[in-house]
Chains A and B, each alone.
Chain A
């Protein structure tokens, strides 16, 4: 290339410099202004969730809970030293068998002083059986079915052999709190429960719908004294009032046939429902059993078979109560009339017939709620139920929060609205408060209701409508809107930039060539 005059040369290099500056400015502006602009218009709002807090709580909550259940011993003056020896005996035995419960669950033996209410506190009384009066007498215990009091009957031989604390330990750890220890230990170890237990229990809710349904296979008028029978059921509901609430409805359903026909057995002269056919017995599609409500529903069905009109019984094989339990759903009882039905008379099911049915349903209700079978005292059972439900609720709500955080972390496109964050915080607050009530006051009722709140809030956080709705907003849409602008502009600027780079390389090469030729 021939070199032009020096004046034009310097002018040209000046122009080239300006051009290059312009390209650079445009490029920088495009990147520094355009990129943030695109990002800010396309990113979804993601509230900051307390990730750290949730994960630590979820991993460590079992270490932060301390159950210390006070048990009051009614012992005469001068025997105070017995309490400490009994306490150490209980602790030693319990933690040897269940080391995982150490620090998590324990009994706090105290001396009964002042007025304590049997209805509210665990009280142990001792009764010394006079061996002389009764030769056969041996040590015994009696857990009151109406309160939280237990009476131990001690024989003099037991006292003399210094085995009172051992006896006390057995009663406390096996008879009164045995089931609780077992269940809590399973929960702490996260061991699989005995299969039946977990499948049967309905998820906890602060309120349940309970529906009693009388099903009859035809359109013949039938009456039942359910109003009175419900009154029999009330004590059971009343006992559970600290645990949960119930709204009760009853109904009669006519023309309700089971989904499979019941086979007649000539040997027994009765209709037999085999255990295998129980799973298909309930006609979910046809019988009006659906309750349109958010709250879970517990259904209790009384099935009045048509065979009653012929005086033939309908029997569930291998069931002494002629009833069966449907896991997480309710209970069913097949009702056979003892007396043949007179022609043209209205069938009515009396209160005394409903009484045993209500007893079956009560025990089924306890089973469905997950209450332990022993001890018989409903107060203690409800206590145990609330403590276990508390641990379960806390575990579940933390699990939900953990899943929520996992979800938001794994899906970068999903929006996290402010309401979700609020619910997460509310849930965490409730959890912390319930911990405080448990650890400082051993107030199981309040801790329970707070844990239920925590569960509710965690569910609300997880199922926040806005979050779920925008989960499937595809990024292709954003691209479709911006590509027509970004494509051409970007390519022009990019090509301009490329040209500048090539020019500079060429210039350098030319300069090198020129040097060589010179």
Chain B
């Protein structure tokens, strides 16, 4: 998984070209009035004298930061973290209509929060300690539940780590790739604020001035990512950081919100768009599809305007890239500067790909005008489609069914399938069955090694370790591979259930890294997370049990105790005794009085 980083660096280095900070906003309208907006930030630190940090060397040299956030540097140093990767993602990527993930999926995580790091340490135990220290510090930093990362969800990816690209400062040490994810973590505004604070512009200028939590997270799919790596040339090291925010925006919704406000209102009769070819009168209206001739701007989507370049002295610090079908789309740049409104049409060197640098101070807005929004720049087909679902309906066991499709006409695809499952899913790898489907039909796979080149499985240890599964697979062109396996659901201890146990337990997505010929990751895709229902007890149960057993016990005790301590008498004796008791005397006295009263009344 980590091998793709090399590519990332390549991209970064080309884009960076000796610059400490630059940012790019890529906009690509997609079919069905959707828009892919991708904010990329590239930050480099000044050269830093790094040394292996332990309890012995307490006096370090002074560290200087200019664009790279000073708040993160000391955390990385104190935990000997050489690489840090964080993903905050929510939503489902519709690869059928949106195509490839932005940045080849290398910056998109699975639902929830994902974190992995390369840590330098003499042994894996120390590495893990540093990892927990790191996750606890970052938890406060990003207002996320990263502090819940513990042994039971932490894994050391194997195949991905075959070439960990980490810098070792002390030659006797190793680097460890450690990974964990929190699939049920919601992503919201409080995660965006610390994210923006890491930028040298802090959302005050440049493209980050558009990022408003309410608008960014009001999208069909969104993901934030942070990748920090340490780059060393001989003894001179520096940090590199890539930050990104990617989102799929529903433009119709943005326009509606802009015009009508947050609350949806019924469309007035005269504004209804009815299909004239069908029955259409005052009572009936078959609605048409969404309008295709739309005009919208950044202001429509983000409610803000772009406030000048990130750094005025650097004319290429802020770039805007636009992918359109220029036959149907026009793009206007608008600049509001010193109360004068400037507007010009932008066009690219290549017709459909426009690159524009923001050079002047003032509020910028980009307006998109189209006569038919169904025509967009071509949507690229991903190298692999993947989906994973739960099978079975009982509470004690279940199964997973994963479907992987290679849509390519000619190329076979090689990839790593990586999956960690929580310990309470007891996996039976012997139940693994594979099936393939092509245009001629479906076949059982007899020899798995045709498709699975290599495999690695580490079973879970209860409460200590997740089960960890990795396959290196190849799928020939135009083929769909199904594989299923079964698992048992274990019972948790009473206190291990979360407060909303009946909601279910989120199981983290599987990660699929597509490899190129030289075994580098070129594309990454994640399945959706799944919600697993475990047998959940009634949480008042212990008290019910206590009360029931106590009642039975005291009943038994009471019987025996009374038998032992009380006299057993016959019914006759009881009657005799009860006649003599005080209560009986009072009752008989009362009865006599009542009798007398009655006789008086009758008289």
Residues of A at the B interface (CB closer than 8 Å) are 15, 19, 22-23, 26, 207, 209, 211, 213, 218-221, 226-227, 230, 245, 247-255, 286, 288, 290-293, 346, 480-481, 484-485, 487-489, 492-493, 496, 499-500
Contact = CB atoms under 8 A, between A and B. Distances in A.
Nearest to B62: A248
Given A207-B58, A254-B201, A493-B561, A488 B313 contact: no
Chain A interface helix/strand/loop/mixed: mixed
A292 B142 CA distance: 11
Given A22-B564, A493-B561, A293 B311 contact: no
Given A249-B65, A251-B66, A251-B70, A23 B554 contact: no
B546 A484 contact: yes
Contacts of A485: 546, 550, 553-554
A304 to B, nearest CB: 14
B331 interface: no
B27 to A, nearest CB: 23
Given A288-B69, A492-B557, A492-B558, A219 B75 contact: no
B273 interface: no
B547 A484 contact: yes
A55 B557 CA distance: 52
Contacts of A492: 554, 557-558, 561-562
Contacts of A493: 561
Contacts of A207: 58
Nearest to A222: B66
Q: Among B61, B70, B74, find the residue whose CB has the most chain A CB atoms closer than 10 A.
A: B70
B63 interface: yes
B171 interface: no
Contacts of A226: 64
Q: Which 6 A-B residue pairings sit nearest by Cβ, starting from the closest?
A: A488-B554, A484-B550, A251-B70, A255-B204, A248-B62, A485-B550
Contacts of A255: 201-202, 204-205
B163 interface: no
A286 B74 contact: no
A61 to B, nearest CB: 29
Given A292-B137, A489-B554, A249 B62 contact: yes
Given A245-B59, A292-B71, A292-B141, A496 B543 contact: no
Interface of B: 58-67, 69-71, 73-75, 78, 137, 140-141, 197, 200-202, 204-205, 308-314, 543, 546-547, 550-551, 553-555, 557-558, 561-562, 564-567
A437 to B, nearest CB: 22
Contacts of B555: 488
14 contacts: A22-B564, A219-B201, A219-B205, A220-B311, A226-B64, A230-B62, A245-B59, A247-B60, A250-B65, A252-B66, A255-B201, A288-B71, A485-B546, A488-B555
Contacts of B547: 484
B550 A488 contact: yes
A248 B561 CA distance: 78
Given A207-B58, A346-B313, 7 more contacts: A19-B564, A23-B565, A211-B70, A249-B70, A286-B202, A485-B550, A489-B557
Contacts, number: 123
Contact of B310 (A219, A288, A293, A346): A219
Nearest to B561: A492
Contacts of B204: 219, 254-255
A310 to B, nearest CB: 16
A227 B62 CA distance: 8
Nearest to A234: B62
Nearest to A229: B62
Contacts of B73: 249
A502 to B, nearest CB: 13
B71 A252 contact: no
Q: Among A207, A230, A255, A485, find the residue whose CB has the most chain B CB atoms closer than 10 A.
A: A255
A300 to B, nearest CB: 12
A293 B313 CA distance: 34
B561 A26 contact: yes
A363 B566 CA distance: 91
A288 B202 CA distance: 9
A59 to B, nearest CB: 36
B74 A293 contact: yes
A209 B62 CA distance: 11
Contacts of B71: 288, 290-292
A319 B207 CA distance: 40
Contact of B311 (A219, A251, A291, A499): A219
A252 B65 contact: yes
A484 B565 CA distance: 23
B53 to A, nearest CB: 11
Contacts of B201: 219, 254-255
A350 to B, nearest CB: 16
Contacts of B557: 488-489, 492
Contacts of B64: 226-227, 249-251
Nearest to B64: A250
Contacts of A251: 64-66, 70
Contacts of B551: 484, 488
B558 A22 contact: no
Nearest to B140: A292
Contact of A221 (B59, B313, B553, B558): B313
Contact of A249 (B63, B312, B558): B63
A317 B581 CA distance: 100
Contacts of B558: 488-489, 492
A250 B63 contact: yes
A254 B565 contact: no
Given A292-B140, A481-B546, A219 B312 contact: yes
Given A221-B314, A249-B73, A288-B70, A254 B200 contact: yes
